Amino acid sequence: MDAPAPPAHGRARQSPANPGFRRRRDAQAGLCVPGRAGRPSAHNRILTMAIVTVPDRPKVLLLDDDPGMLGKLETMLDQWGFRTVTASEADKAFDILVHDDEIRVAVVDYMLQGMNGFELCRKIRSKLHSSTLHILILTAKSGKAQIVEGLGAGADDFLSKPFHPDELRARILAGARAAKVQAELRRQLAQYETALRLLGQALQFVPRCESCKKIRDLDGNWHKLKVSISFGEEDVNRHHFTCPECESLKSAPAAMPEAGAQPAAPTPGASPAPKLA
């Protein structure tokens, strides 16, 4: 008996009994399993690429009072290479942020029991002034008025439900990059302010001209500062110095009037100068 001819496309028809059958899960959760035996599906290849592109594994806080949705979010982010911390209440999420400064992004559901997502944003921005946290709000309402209110409350980004997993991952990555850059800028600014303060303290031991404010180096040369630095009372030199240029101006005789110049007008009420015979 002749064997049945293979399909025109050259591949066996996929069925639940076939190892190559691909199952689909809830699109909102974004979970999937490998396709053909020994070969990852296209979605899992994307997951692998995402892990490679997140070498430092940013920490993300997930806040949702729906246990099912919270579990799906945690599973996705773990597969993508993020470190995750979960909370089901806004107060608990705030306590986590107070004690954990490694969290860069917070994915917050808007509809929460007690304190909603916008109220949590206001509390974070008003209490944690030094925080560079990037807040992403998940909401089923994406009206202009709600977006304006959320941005005013301190949110950085919005994602409407239902959302695609790839868009969620992209927004979290962008938020993690922004938070990292902001934290680095704050660190550099703090170093710059510390350096200026130390420089101001050190300059009190450097000879400085009282008139032109130039400073003298170890070779006896005088230089004008290119950076304006304010000196407080504690920074004033105990010794008085004058650079050669200012010293020469002090010791120079008073300038004589030029030939042909008109004499100065007499002061009103003053007696006229006597005429010479």
Give the model confidence (pLDDT) of 227-263 as tens digits. Answer: 655 555 454 445 667 788 887 887 766 555 565 556 5
Give the helix ranges, DSSP H, for 85-204: 90-99, 117-127, 144-153, 165-203
The tens digit of pLDDT for each residue in 109-137 reads 999 988 999 999 999 999 998 788 999 99
Report how far apart, in Å, the C-alpha atoms of 262 and of each of 109, 231, 259, 267 are: 85, 44, 9, 15
- CA atoms of 18 and 259, how far apart (whole Å): 113
- CA atoms of 137 and 36, how far apart (whole Å): 37
Confidence of residue 80 (pLDDT cuts 50, 70, 90): very high
- CA atoms of 109 and 64, how far apart (whole Å): 5
Contacting residues for 187 by C-beta, under 8 A, at least 6 apart:
none
Q: Calculate the CA 211 to chain-centre distance.
A: 42
- CA atoms of 205 and 223, how far apart (whole Å): 15
CATH assignment of 42-187, among 3.40.190.10, 3.40.50.2300, 3.40.630.30, 1.10.1740.10: 3.40.50.2300
pTM of the complete model beyond 0.85:
no
Instruction: Classify residue 120 as exposed, middle or buried by CB count within 10 Å of its CB (0-12, 13-18, 19+).
Output: buried
* Mean pLDDT over the full length of the chain: 76
- CA atoms of 132 and 129, how far apart (whole Å): 8
Give pLDDT, residue 251.
73
Number of residues in the chain: 277
Q: Which two tokens stand for residue 213?
A: 């404010």
**pLDDT exceeds 60 at position 216:** yes
Domain ranges of the chain: 42-187, 204-238
Report how far apart, in Å, the C-alpha atoms of 35 and of each of 13, 67, 123, 198, 241 are: 13, 28, 45, 62, 83
- Whether the CB-CB separation of 69 and 94 falls below 8 Å is answered with no
Average confidence (pLDDT) over 150-156: 93
**Identity of residue 85:** V
The tens digit of pLDDT for each residue in 154-192 reads 999 999 988 999 999 999 999 999 999 988 998 999 899
Phi-psi label, residue 89: left if phi above 0, alpha if psi -120 to 50, beta otherwise = beta
Can you point out the beta strands (E) in 177-266?
Answer: 215-216, 222-223
The tens digit of pLDDT for each residue in 38-74 reads 444 555 554 444 444 555 789 999 999 999 999 999 9
